[in-house]
Structure 1
Amino acid sequence: MNRYLFLIILLQTISSLAQNEANIWYFGQNAGLDFNGGVPVPIDDGQLNTNEGCSSISDENGDLLFYSDGITVWDRNHLPMPNGSNLLGSPSATQSGLIVPLPNSTTIYYIFTLDNVANDNGLRYSVIDMSLNNGLGDVTNEKNILLITPIKESITAVNQANGNDVWVVTHGMFNDEFYSFSITDLGIDTNPVVSAIGHTPTNNLEAIGGIKLSPNGSKIAIGYANSAIFELGNFDISTGRVSEIITFDRFATSPVPNNYAYAFEFSPNNKLLYLNNNNLGLFQYSIQNFTETEILNTEVPISLNLSLGPGSGLFYGQLQLGPDGRIYSAISARSSLSVINNPNEVGMLCDFQLDAVRLAPGTQSNQGLPPFITTYFFTTINVENVCVGDSTLISLNTQRDALQVEWDFGDGSTGTGVDVSHSYSQEGNYVITAEVFINSQTFTFSRTISVGTTPTATTPPDIEACDDNGSGLALFDLTSNDSFILNGQDPNAHRITYYENRSDLDNGLSIIEPDLFMNTQAQTTQRIFARVQNTMGDSQCTQTTSFEIKVRQSPETGMIEPITLCPDESIQLTVSSSFDRIEWSNGSRGPSIEVNEPGSYTAVVINDYNTISCNTEVTYEVIEPELVDSFEVLVENWSINNNSIEVVIPDQDDYEFAVNFGPFQDSPIFENLRAGVYEVLVRSKYDCAELSQLVNVSTFPGFFTPNDDGYNDIWNVNNPNPDEDLQIFIFDRYGKFLVEINSNGIGWDGNLNGQPLPASDYWFRTVLTSGREYRGHFTLKR
């Protein structure tokens, strides 16, 4: 009995410590990575050509066994297994497959396959026996065995609490059920543990989106693409049950197409969740305080897709924790994988690098990466404070307790204990090796680290920028201070990140576009923080500094109206002398220039500050009007009081008018004039010319009373021009000619041949010098 118990404990220990099974990855378009050397090395011998789903598995030594796209299984020689075709998975499923070894067996493996968008093939499994086909393995007759349908395109796995058996977890379609299938050394229990909790996917496109268990199996995350919903819950590795699900609709209101919560991964320490949203980018959440509000409050956009929109920008795909403790991100149609170098760190300190790992030539990443039993990544070497001279903390992260561990630090020094510390004296790459002793068995783990020197962050000068529109805001190129901050240090070996304030620095929320940063506090000085990081591998060697950005006011000149230049004259153009410098377009300097020709004259007014000069251009339009030398006057007269004068001249709006030196007006018409000689004055509004002309306004009285009282006894026209003696012919009301008088004469006394005519209306006719004839009538009163 004791011997049997020892065997079980030993097998459980081996299972919980194994991690080399995840050392070879095949994915995308013939792409692959080999982690056996501690760092990923690109390989190009893979036969996969898949847009999304893929799976691969190695043995305990890290040697490739086989891999699949959900339809075909290739052996380690990259040839299809004899019975390895026509599996019923789909390369277009988010996670088209997952490979799980039969516990306590070295030859039997299960490959689970999923159909896409909730199609009928659902979740199936096939058995692979590595003892077949001369040790290259083959799919047995236990092939394409249906477990459940319809199903989401989501699958994940973790070791059970006994450290030996495995839970394989997926989610149903059109219901709220998580399914946990138990795999023991007896095989698959086809009756899953069902947890009915959380969101119900009702649309086939909600089948899209991954699922992931944390390395210690305590948390589970899942996404429902078309609804943009994702969920986070607790998982019990003893029972396989999902509980305390939190449903997040954080992305549901975004207008961005393909706004899918697509892929998930947990940090090795199980404290952080990373999420790839297809079109928005990479996000980080702290999950230690397990409430919706507290989790959302910790959201950090690690890598935002700034081009936002269908068919443009980056399309973020699968996330997968690697054997080296880093998280790798697939981005569609890229020749590299992106990497989260320090996934246990909060905020931007996690150190996301776009296109960090170059793939082999002729290969590329698409949306998928191979999933693994997440417990494979729960035995890792954790390292903190990896700088020259620091006390570097080194520990073994595993599910097992009370381990005896002997360390080789890679520089000739050794140590003993689960948690140790060591100080490196020189920069370089070091292979840390841990030998773990359990019940007379030895297990070896290694990790390559890069030790860097703590950089110097020299305080740079403040940066000034001009406020060109009066808003108090300006664009700053913070990266212009890079060379000052590095002060001779190699820019290729250091990275500088900038932060809006101290809080953002502490939380790792760096400015995304430091070369196009706009200050957030108008017309005030803002302090910017800069962190210099040594970019050698694992290194978190940093130093910070700060400087101020200052918005400087550009000169204000106001609107300049066009200026008139009269012919044969000159004018002076003047700008306020309150500016530091004034430069004219004709080469002159100073506040004034004299010009004698029409045209555009530009003055650049400049205010000088500590490091910049802010300027504003002001343009003077000098125009020379076209002037006339004469004008025409239309006179409407021969009325008693309602006589008028109208001036007719081209470009009337350029002139103003007056009569008899009265006030000038814009209108060329003067009304209600009495008889008389009028001097009509015309002058340009530009004060360039003034013209005059005399005109006569003639009238006649409407009645007369020839009663010798000395008032209105004589009738005659009022002609103000004595040089024009008009002949006037008077008629009675029946048209009978009565008498002829002259405008310069005495007039008519109302008599004909010495006899007074009766009171009545009488008519007159006169011919003007211009030849124009005028007729009118008046009243004789007795």
Structure 2
Amino acid sequence: MKKNILTYGFVLCTFFLFAQKQTNIWYFGNKAGLDFNNIPPLVLRDGSASSFEGSSTVSDNNGKLLFYTNGQVIMNRQHLQMKNGSALSGHQSSTNNTLIVPLPGNDSIYYVFTTGAALQETHQFQYNIVNIKGDGGLGEVIAGNILIEDVIFEKLAGVRHCNKRDAWIVIHKWDSDEYHSYLLTATGFNPVPVVSRTGLVITGFENNEIGTLKFSSKGTKLAAVHSFENDVVELMDFDNTTGVLSNPVVFKPNAIPHTPSFIGVYGAEFSPNGNLLYVSANNSAIDPSVLYQFDITSHNAATILGTKQTIAKTVPWFAGALQLGPDMKIYMAMWKDTSVSVIDDPDVFGPGCNFRYNKIFIGPAGKEPVQFGLPTFIQSYFDTASVPYDFSRSGNCLDRNITFKLNRLSGIDSVKWYFGDTQQSQALQPTHNYAAPGFYDVKLIVYKVDCSGLNDTINRRIWIADSAGFLGADTSSCNVLALTIGIEEIEGANYLWNTGYNGNKIITTGFGTYWLELQQNGCKLRDSIDVIEKPKPVVNLGTDTTICKFKPVILTTGSSFYDTYLWNTGQSTPSITVDKAGTYYIDVTLNGCKASDTVVVFPGDCAIFIPSAFTPNSDGLNDMFGVLGDITVRSFSMQVFNKWGQMVFTTTDISQKWDGTYKGKKALIGTYPWIVYYVTGNGLRKYLQGTVMLIR
């Protein structure tokens, strides 16, 4: 038996199981579009191909556009014509003019099936092959307009095979009761159809071939809408293993025949659960648009008609196609409208289905963005049962008694659980008690009912916490610093901080409370941590000051309660005494927090000291006469005179001194008058005079 392994990340081998996002981008009508990667869908107006009726679009597994077509030209994701993508044999006035189907097991090759229109002389069924990796990743048509058969209706539909890999493409022969089911497998397209001769023979007026062909998303029912002269809906069972259609029932939604110039019934769509069928109709000038709902669970024509609900009517536009969306709502096009209408709750019988006329505005009046059609898809893309099996755990991450829950229970024959601690269970949703905290590798095998021969194996590593306080103790900091707080990476966990960050660790930006909530495979746990501001020391050495010779200055922090002191002089006391001008700074610490301050000691406006005697005898002691000390002045002048009034010395440099000579000769012993004029650093003008005794 082949097994399908599903690991964390949900990677599956079949293309259908992730196909929901392949339908996330729609292009239709007059260059209109919808993007279902947004909820509600985002309106797109960048399309470059128009279609009166059918179209088809395909996106990748992440919902990113790959290409789209109106049956006549293929446009790549850049909205440019794909290489070799022109002159397709489809027609934009065909109900279901085209269908894009990925080749099973291949992420590069796509088949593009096309049909002609009733207004054409030939109604051919053809296919083209696209290699999406061609032309630098923009896609390239590598085979075009390959004829499958002639003379078919302008309708086709697709659904997956029971094996979840292959795909059926179904068409209806003209002038015949034959439905042809073609199979696309990993080896390619099988040109030999499964023929089902059932139901109505449609012939006569060419417009009788108008109307949609639509599968239910589960692939068990097919609805064929036959417009104009027939004005009926044909409902059949479909065997998605053999491709055989059977058990046709035919019913006529319109109780009163439509006006001949109107087409009658046109579009159809199944509810997501497959129990209801919606049918659109255009009947007369006063009744141009009608939307019906039927309960089809009986599969009996009379009973079905007895459940008819008229959901909407007499709206001002012709009713067009109906299409189920990725959001499980049904969308309705109306010819030449500006908007798309929506059935919000299509599984609900009666008015509770919530039809919303013109709910999504597409474009302004006059542009006619909406026409008759909406994109045609493989309907299995909308089967909720195609969602991969998965499981989650209950409760808090501290809980050791854990209940495991499957995401869905349908389609299961049996299961087997391996809890990662040697224990096992075959209960659908078991409860298991773990002996200790830690990591456990849990494995679930789902044995399915379907014919695929595939069993889903899901592996999860679960975490049982040993403490709610996983962030640790509160922390403190002196300043608003970048502190890293958090938890080591936990496999499979999602993280959410109160800041909005979603990583396992965060760098703080300020003081306060930080909490982290983590989820790991269904469990939740939250912890918080306070980042507290420590009391910081404040040190102040005061304002800058001045110093004078023989008058030292005391610099002090004003506190003896700090843990440490360190001056740039190397001293480690609360106060220091300095006797020189300069810059002094201190670092203090308290509780691990540091503070600093700086003070500048300038030379002050001190009194000038001039000696009263000097002995210029070259003994190195008092040999010079002048101003003593390091004093800052703005300007300075000094003159010394002998007793006859002759100036024996003069200078404007406060540091220059008289050596006791005059005209190169030693001056006589005696008393010498002097005068000094200077301007202080603060701008004060000073004048001094006195005498000095020259002694030898």
What is the TM-score normalised by the length of structure 2? Answer: 0.54
Q: Distance in 2 between matches of 1:192 and 1:125?
A: 14
Partner of 2:65: 64
CA contact (8 A) 1:12 1:163 kept: no
* 3-state SS in 1 of match to 2:138: coil
Cα deviation, 1:488-508, whole Å, max 9, x if unaligned, reads: xxxxxxxxxxxxxxxxxxxxx
Please give the alpha-carbon distance, in whole angstroms, between the structure 2 residues aligned to 1:277 and 1:407.
49
Structure 1 pair 55/357, CA: closer, same or farther in 2 (3 Å)? Answer: same
Structure 2 SS opposite 1:178: strand
Confirm whether residue 249 of structure 1 aligns to residue 225 of structure 2: no
Q: What amino acid maps onto 1:81 in structure 2?
A: M
**Quick check: 1:112–1:124 contact (8 Å CA) kept in 2?**
yes
Distance in 1 of aligned mates of 2:126 and 2:223 = 22
2:457: which partner in 1? 439
Q: Distance in 2 between matches of 1:175 and 1:302?
A: 33
Unmatched tracts of structure 1, length 5 or more: 307-312, 380-397, 409-413, 421-435, 443-782
Contact 2:100 2:110 in 1 (8 A): yes
After superposition, where does 1:148-159 map in structure 2 within 5 Å? 148-159=149-160
SS in 1 for 2:380: helix
Partners of 1:343 and 1:285 in 2: how far apart? 11
Partner of 2:608: none
**Count of aligned residue pairs for this structure pair:** 396
Aligned: 1:376 with 2:381: yes
Q: Give, as a single letter, the amino acid of the residue that structure 2 aligns with 1:262.
A: Y
Q: 1:17 to 1:49 in 2, by over 3 A?
A: closer
Residue in 2 aligned with 1:772?
none
Equivalent position amino acid for 1:29 in 2: N
* Cα distance in 1 for residues equivalent to 2:185 and 2:386: 19
- Of the three residues 129, 132, 135, the one matched with 1:130 is 132
Contact kept in structure 2, 1:340 and 1:352, CA below 8 Å: yes
Where does 1:251-266 land on structure 2 (aligned, <5 Å)? 251=254, 253-257=256-260, 258-266=262-270
The reply to whether residue 404 of structure 1 matches residue 391 of structure 2 is yes
Task: Look up the SS of the partner of 1:154 in the other structure.
Answer: strand
Q: Within 5 Å, give how 1:120-269 maps onto structure 2.
A: 120-140=122-142, 142-203=143-204, 204-226=206-228, 227-251=230-254, 253-257=256-260, 258-269=262-273
Q: How far is 1:252 from its partner? A: 7.5
- Name the % identity: 37
1:50 shift after superposition: 1.4
Distance in 2 separating the partners of 1:156 and 1:405: 36
Pair 182,405 (structure 1): closer, same or farther in 2 beyond 3 Å:
farther
Contact 2:162 2:241 in 1 (8 A): yes
Residues 255 and 401 (structure 1), Cα distance of their counterparts in 2 relative to 1, 3 Å cut: closer
In structure 1, the residue matched to 2:400 is: none
> Distance in 1 between the 2:309 and 2:87 partners?
43
Shift of 1:404: 2.0
Contact map agreement 2:344 2:356 (CA 8 A) in 1: yes
Matches within 5 A, 1:102-113: 102-113=103-114
Q: Measure how far apart 1:403 and its partner are.
A: 3.6
Contact 1:110 1:127 in 2 (8 A): yes
Paired amino acid for 1:194: V
Q: Residue 205 of structure 1: SS of its match in structure 2?
A: helix
Q: 1:16: Cα distance to partner?
A: 2.6
Task: List aligned pairs for 1:126-525, cutoff 5 A.
Answer: 126-140=128-142, 142-203=143-204, 204-226=206-228, 227-251=230-254, 253-257=256-260, 258-278=262-282, 279-305=288-314, 313-361=316-364, 362=367, 364-379=369-384, 398-399=385-386, 403-405=390-392, 416-418=405-407, 439-440=457-458
Amino acid at match of 1:295: I
Kept in 2, the 8 Å contact 1:119–1:150? The answer is no
Alpha-carbon distance in structure 1 between the residues aligned to 2:193 and 2:239: 14
Measured against aligned partners, the alpha-carbon deviations of 1:324-359 in whole angstroms (never above 9, x if no partner) come to 000000001111100000000000000001000111
Q: Distance in 2 between matches of 1:401 and 1:268?
A: 17
Deviation at 1:322, TM superposition (A): 0.3
Q: Do the aligned partners of residues 186 and 11 (structure 1) sit closer, same or farther apart at CA in structure 2, a change above 3 Å counting?
A: farther
Deviation sequence 1:608-640 (CA, Å, 0-9, x none): xxxxxxxxxxxxxxxxxxxxxxxxxxxxxxxxx
Give distance in 2, aligned partners of 1:170 and 1:296: 26
- Distance in structure 2 (CA, Å) of the matches to 1:250 and 1:275: 8
Closer, same or farther: CA 441–179 of 1 in aligned 2, 3 Å: farther
Letter in 2 for 1:274: Y
| Structure 1 residue aligned with 2:549 | none
Residues 252 and 294 of structure 1, relative CA distance in 2, 3 Å threshold: closer
Cα RMSD for the two superposed structures = 2.7
Q: Secondary structure at the match of 2:155?
A: coil
**Pairing 1:677-696 to 2, within 5 Å after superposition:** none
Which whole-Å CA distance do the structure 2 matches of 1:407 and 1:81 have between them?
Answer: 50
TM-aligned CA deviation for residue 259 of structure 1: 4.0
Partners of 2:267 and 2:171 in 1: CA distance: 14
Q: 1:42 to 1:363 in 2, by over 3 A?
A: farther
**In the alignment, which residue of structure 2 is the partner of 1:445?**
none
| CA-CA distance at 1:191 after TM superposition | 0.6
State the Cα distance separating 1:120 from its structure 2 match.
1.5
* Aligned mates of 1:11, 1:32 — CA distance in 2: 29
Per the alignment, do residues 79 and 401 of structure 1 end up closer, same or farther by CA in structure 2, a change over 3 Å counting?
closer
AA matched with 1:365: V
Q: 1:255 to 1:407 in 2, by over 3 A?
A: farther
2:394 & 2:254 partners in 1: Cα distance?
46
Residue type of the alignment partner of 2:293: Q
Q: Distance in 1 between matches of 2:202 and 2:255?
A: 14
Structure 1 residues 71 and 407 mapped into 2: Cα distance closer, same or farther (>3 Å)?
Answer: farther
**Range with greater deviation from structure 2 (13-22 or 226-235):** 13-22
Counterparts of 1:187 and 1:419, CA distance in 2: 33
Question: Deviations along 1:631-670, whole A, 9 cap, x unmatched?
Answer: xxxxxxxxxxxxxxxxxxxxxxxxxxxxxxxxxxxxxxxx
Letter in 1 for 2:273: N
Q: C-alpha distance in 1, partners of 2:41/2:85?
A: 28
Please give the alpha-carbon distance, in whole angstroms, between the structure 2 residues aligned to 1:350 and 1:250.
19
Letter in 2 for 1:404: F
Q: Distance in 1 between matches of 2:193 and 2:76?
A: 30
| 1:12 Cα deviation after fit | 5.4
More relative contact order, 1 or 2 (CA 8 Å, 6+ apart) = 2
Matches of 2:321 and 2:91, distance apart in 1: 16
CA offset digits 1:180-200 (Å, max 9, x no partner)? 110000111111111111111
Report the CA distance between 1:402 and its aligned residue. Answer: 5.6
Alpha-carbon separation, structure 2, partners of 1:111 and 1:25: 16
Name the TM-score, length of structure 1 as normaliser: 0.48
Q: Which residue type is aligned with residue 210 of structure 1?
A: T
Q: Distance in 2 between matches of 1:49 and 1:192?
A: 32
Distance in 2, Cα, partners of 1:401 & 1:78: 33
Q: SS in structure 1 opposite 2:207?
A: helix
Amino acid at match of 1:247: V
| Map of 2:39 onto structure 1 | 38
